[in-house]
Structure 1
Amino acid sequence: MKRNDKVIIKKYCPICDCEHEIIINEKEGIATIKGEEIKYMKKVYFCPNADEAECEFSDSKIMDSNLLAAKDAYRVKTGLLTSYDIKDIRSKYGLTQSEFALLLDCGEITITRYETKQIQDKCHDEQMRLFRDNPRYAFECLKSHKELFDYKKYSELNDCFLNIVETEGKEASSRELLRTIYSKYDSPSLDNGNKTLDIDILEAIISYFASKIKYLYKVRLMKLLWYTDMIFYNNYGVSMTGLVYTHKQYGALPIGHHEIIGLYNVYTEEEYDQSSENFLTRIYDNKNLNYKFTDEELKVLELVKDKFIQYSGAEIAEYMHKEKAYIHTNFGDIISYEWAKDLNN
């Protein structure tokens, strides 16, 4: 239960020697793991009825949780998968702990240990990363261990793995096409806002605007992306997406705009517009994305959304035409991020 952003549970309190509401607090902890001093966030129980000097206590459950948090912090520091990363890999492929261990040719309880208390070695870490990042490798592992599963279970896993291979293959190819177009902008510069192309956040931004703006079409989206990148660059010295924009008829247009709309995780639909007698590309929210915006990113996105939510594509294009970045560049020019300081309002 949460109350005023505090997690509250009812449990036995050894300080009061009775059961009552206890607050779960988080505080910075320090642990030494394999010779490394590790800082991490640990949990403690807080008794609101006790004196301040003796108000905190723990039990075996929370101590185990804190030990795992410290080991995960060590894993992050040393570049290893965390216990949560390992669970996510299993969940992705629909595997139990013992099934995952079988496919990796390790002891049946090895994965259980990795998810609860034991830090994996580099060899197993690399193998699990390969399993996560290369569905074809994972599928080959499944085929080579076919005899370890009964017919029904193998059929279920086979269908699941094949679906992932197909889906991620399409996603990878659409991303690779856009990356190829941006290969000449593979170093931070004023062209890309001191940031190389970040497709994860690009897809998330597109989905964000589609979730907030009911009728989002391509022309409007491209201007929203430009303002988002320019404002973020002006505030923090880097763009959000790493996109490179050029001066075109209807305003700033990112290089590779066709490929951006063609990304596997960008949901679109062609709609016929009777007034213009043209087909328009409408963009929809992708609720399957799990990108988490930072507070700084979200602040800029909300600013851009609030400013332009009532603008049509034509209106936002007209607004953009009044920007110095557009007035002082020529058709086809790259619009440098140095113009970010001169944005209207």
Structure 2
Amino acid sequence: MKKYCHVCDCEQETNLIQKGESFPVRGDSIEVVSDVLICSVCQEELFDPELDDANLERAFSEYRKKHNLLSPSEIREIRSRYGSGRLVATLLGWSQATLVRYENGAIPNKAHHDQLLQLRDDPGYVKRLLSQNEDKLSERELIKLTTLIEQDLSHRETHSFDPVEELNKMFRAFLKDGIVDTEFDFEKLANAVLFFAYHDRLLKTKLQKLLFYADFLSTKRYGKQIVGMPYVHHYYGPVPYNHEFVHSCLLMSNIVDTEPLEGPYGGEIITPSNLPNLSVFTPEELEILTTVSEFFKGFSATQISDFSHKEKGYLETSHKEIISYSYSENLLLN
């Protein structure tokens, strides 16, 4: 990609590098690994607004992790549970614009953050808010909120949801049935996702393909998977089995966050919540992740989907059918 270099005083080819940077966020100095464009001729750093925004969001994500703050996607989940931003804003005594800012990445102040936590975790608090604001809500909203509070109170008495244990439970059967050769490892899934998200700007579609290629290339080279997930034939190429649930568990575990993709086609960009812990991988596994990341660097979600459609394992399976790891020997990557 060419950009204007003020030192060379002309357009030059650029290279993308990574460097450690410090960002001030609410009085804290937050260290992140930033993506930076440099001139291929004079090595001068060049400003790129998209990269600059992404680097700043990484700093915000690190700040949220450091202070145990809700992510934008978690705030969106809280709002969507109640159905509308107007209803949530009315309950909390906020403007809808304030809620939208938090959903789009702004960091809530402490008072607002505490309110969001109570809204998420304390049905009794929601009940109190309802009694204080019932005159501002429609009959339909009153009925919906009352039902939600009753369901939540009942559910909390009998259930607790552990996303890691739920994934372990779901994938355990595939090892028993011989569909995978490696026991599912959530830590390796989480850190593979973080690895890919730190090395590229990802949509969910591309991330799903990168995980597929990592597990299949590892099987091709070493006879076993890295993460240990089965993959199925989907319209846009191979995806992890029950991929939406897998993605939800990653969000609930605060491994990644998502931000809306601007433009006519929409979508969500995956953003890492922290740096990957590479010590969970063997040298061979890390080599696989690096190979896959570098091969597909610069591929759009559409391009990697099109590439995956040429895989024999994809061509010889039908929609929602599990792609056998026996097809790893035919993988287009070596």
TM-score normalised by L of structure 1? 0.47
Could you say which structure has the greater relative contact order, defined with CA pairs below 8 angstroms and 6 or more residues apart?
Answer: 2
Rg comparison, structure with higher value: 1
